[in-house]
Amino acid sequence: MHYSNVPDTRVRVLRDETPRPDGDFVLYWMTAARRLSWNFALDRAVEWARELDKPLVIFEPLRAGYRWASERHHQSIIDGMGDKAGRLEGACVTYYPYVEPEPGAATGLLAALAGHAACVIADDSPTFFLPRLLEAGRKAVLCRMEAVDGVGMLPLSVPGRSFSAAYHFRRYLHKELPAHLGPRPSPDPLAAVALRSLEGLPAEVIARWPAARLLEGGSGRSSLDGLASIPIDHTVGAVPWIGGETEARRRLQSFLETDLARYAEDRNHPDLSVVSALSPALHYGHISAHEIFHGLTEQEGWTPARITLPHNGRRKGWWGMSESAEGFIDQLVTWRELGHGYCHAQPDFRSYDTLPEWAVQTLEDHAGDPRPWLYSLEQFEAAATHDEIWNAAQRQLVEQGVIHNYLRMLWGKKILEWSAHPREALDTMVVLNNRYAIDGRDPNSWSGIMWVMGRFDRGWPERAVFGKVRSMSSDSTRRKVRIDRYLGRWGSQPELV
Ligand SMILES: Cc1cc2nc3c(=O)[nH]c(=O)nc-3n(C[C@H](O)[C@H](O)[C@H](O)COP(=O)(O)OP(=O)(O)OC[C@H]3O[C@@H](n4cnc5c(N)ncnc54)[C@H](O)[C@@H]3O)c2cc1C
């Protein structure tokens, strides 16, 4: 019987076989939790390698043929690969980063590698092409295979359903989460272990699928030999944000030390920039929610004994932390895991028809309302609307791959208001968000976009176009939030079309 420190609630056995005694190594197929610390899947792989007394291979592939594949997303993942390669120098594991030179080139690679493995550990992740990839992997792998969930603080398998609003989920978390705060992934799973080393990866595998040639790119960046010739969208270029665990941890420290204290009061002001900016690192799996939560609780000197009853879904006061820390956890845990859980429980989460009934009804009732302005995808993409704040947000998205959270809500609400039909608005948001945002193509992408259309929200007083769905206006944004410096940077450029 396998003894494990990784909770059973986080492990899905995809192939229930005894590990192959003649396998050459344990294989960790790293596709979502792209990090070497605070990673339950890596913990599990290390446990198996120790128990079987086998070497460990960490295989991190990057495909070319998925929707919205661009230099921007590739660069972020390549930064992370370079970071890992550096951190693993001299370590007791074999790291095999692989970047597809063209779509489909990796076909057969997992099967070939797994053919030499005793067992395979994979990442469980609820969105984008990852569930399909995992299912294809399950068919290709013929030995024991497990998928491990390292997504959030609450294991995805625990609720067994989705929630219609943050309030309901918060109430649920108040009851259930404390029991799951104990088991944590290891901060440094490779530090204290001595694993058997591998002579080399199988020759026929490495000959056909050579490891990525990663080069030092300066200032924490990595570059990939041959990136320019991979047929991905090179018009969506790299952004200043640097991927990888080292940079993510640096960002976390700086947030905790300088910004967290002002989070409750100032998080909505684009000019003050006190948010964590960790969503891309979370998206690429370069940092885990556990590590962030741990940093926060250390800083607060917090222990679970400070949790206060009753479990009534209150946003403030339940954790027994500072107001800013509680506000931040509400985003990191309640909102983030509300959306991840939704995608896990509702595989058709992308569909307009999965919006709450009241939202579809009211949006359809108002679908024929005259729009004050009407724009096409191309006009939105070119930041060519009449609205200075909207254009500024879109320019920041295209150039830097991010939009401040408050403006992101406005950005979505205005696309809903200025599109011919809510379904068209949904398509426009999905395309622009996922093409340009470095945290795009994430369960949170669908949380945010669908929230614009009414998911996780309640009805508001009825008005044109929006119906009972919550509306937002640029004028009140200008009044409510500090935005002058932001507009100075992004708002004054000439329109592009
Ligand atoms: C139209 C629209 C599209 C969005 N698309 C994305 C997306 O593609 N990827 C993405 O990660 N987020 C998306 N969001 C949610 C939110 O805007 C970002 O998570 C947040 O702005 C990230 O900035 P931060 O890391 O500084 O957040 P912080 O305020 O520092 O919060 C910490 C973490 O909590 C989580 N979080 C914060 N706000 C939300 C939220 N509203 N819903 C779910 N989780 C949240 C994120 O993981 C974030 O990194 C979208 C929101 C809207 C309205």
How does pLDDT run across 360-370, given as a tens digit for each residue?
A: 999 999 999 99
Residue whose Cα lies nearest atom 34 of ligand 1: it is 332
pLDDT score, position 192: 80
Residue 440 inside a domain? The answer is yes
Distance between CA atoms of residues 257 and 170, nearest Å: 27
User: Is 1 in the same domain as 134?
Assistant: yes
Distances (CA, A) of 107 to 70, 73, 202, 400: 20, 21, 17, 33
Which atom of ligand 1 has the smallest separation from the CA of 409? 53
Residue 229 inside a domain? The answer is no
The number of angstroms, rounded, from the C-alpha of 483 to the middle of its chain's C-alpha atoms is 27
Ligand 1 centroid to Cα of residue 215, in Å, is 31
User: Is 404 in the same domain as 324?
Assistant: no
Model confidence at 202: pLDDT above 80: yes
Residue whose Cα lies nearest atom 29 of ligand 1: it is 275
Residue 100 inside a domain? The answer is yes
Ligand 1 centroid to Cα of residue 406, in Å, is 10
User: Is 334 in the same domain as 356?
Assistant: no
Residue whose Cα lies nearest atom 5 of ligand 1: it is 445
Ligand 1 centroid to Cα of residue 440, in Å, is 10
Residue 478: which CATH number? 1.10.579.10
CB 146 within 8 A of CB 121: yes
User: Is 287 in the same domain as 400?
Assistant: no
User: Is 384 in the same domain as 486?
Assistant: yes
> pTM to 2 decimals?
0.96
Model confidence at 225: pLDDT above 70: yes
Q: Where among 99, 125, 150 does a domain terminate?
A: 150
pLDDT, tens digit (0-9, with 9 covering 90-100), for 240-270:
999 999 999 999 999 999 999 999 999 999 9
pLDDT score, position 349: 93
The residue type of 446 is: W
pLDDT score, position 220: 84
Q: Where among 294, 323, 345 does a domain terminate?
A: 345
Residue 170 inside a domain? The answer is no
Residues with a CB atom less than 6 Å from ligand 1: 267, 275-279, 282-283, 331-332, 335-336, 339, 405, 408-409, 412, 429, 433, 437, 439-440, 442, 444-445, 447-449, 451-452
Residue 483: closest CA among 381, 409, 400, 388: 388
pLDDT score, position 4: 60
Tell the burial category of 18 from Cβ atoms under 10 Å away from its Cβ (0-12, 13-18, 19+): exposed
Report the number of distinct structural domains present in the chain: 3
Which atom of ligand 1 has the smallest separation from the CA of 439? 9
Which atom of ligand 1 has the smallest separation from the CA of 280? 11
Ligand 1 centroid to Cα of residue 405, in Å, is 6
Q: Where among 345, 368, 395 does a domain terminate?
A: 345
pLDDT score, position 150: 96
User: Is 363 in the same domain as 328?
Assistant: no
Place of tokens 């399950």: 138
Model confidence at 212: pLDDT above 70: yes
Distances (CA, A) of 488 to 392, 399, 492: 9, 15, 6
Residue 273: which CATH number? 1.25.40.80
Interval 41-63 mean pLDDT: 97
pLDDT score, position 273: 83
Residue 32 inside a domain? The answer is yes
User: Is 376 in the same domain as 320?
Assistant: no
Distances (CA, A) of 415 to 32, 273, 379, 429, 472: 30, 24, 11, 7, 11
User: Is 372 in the same domain as 397?
Assistant: yes
Distance between CA atoms of residues 488 and 58, nearest Å: 46
Place of tokens 């009805």: 459
Residue whose Cα lies nearest atom 44 of ligand 1: it is 336
Model confidence at 79: pLDDT above 90: yes
Residue whose Cα lies nearest atom 42 of ligand 1: it is 335
* pLDDT-based confidence at residue 493 (cuts at 50, 70, 90): low
Residue 8: which CATH number? 3.40.50.620
User: Is 127 in the same domain as 77?
Assistant: yes
Ligand 1 centroid to Cα of residue 355, in Å, is 19
Residue 387 inside a domain? The answer is yes
Ligand 1 centroid to Cα of residue 158, in Å, is 23
Residue 164 inside a domain? The answer is no
H or E stretch covering 174: helix 166-176
The rounded mean pLDDT for the chain is 95
Model confidence at 284: pLDDT above 70: yes
Residue whose Cα lies nearest atom 36 of ligand 1: it is 331
User: Is 365 in the same domain as 465?
Assistant: yes
Range of the structural domain that residue 48 is part of: 1-150
User: Is 314 in the same domain as 357?
Assistant: no
Assign 96 to helix, strand or coil.
strand
Residue 386 inside a domain? The answer is yes
User: Is 141 in the same domain as 43?
Assistant: yes
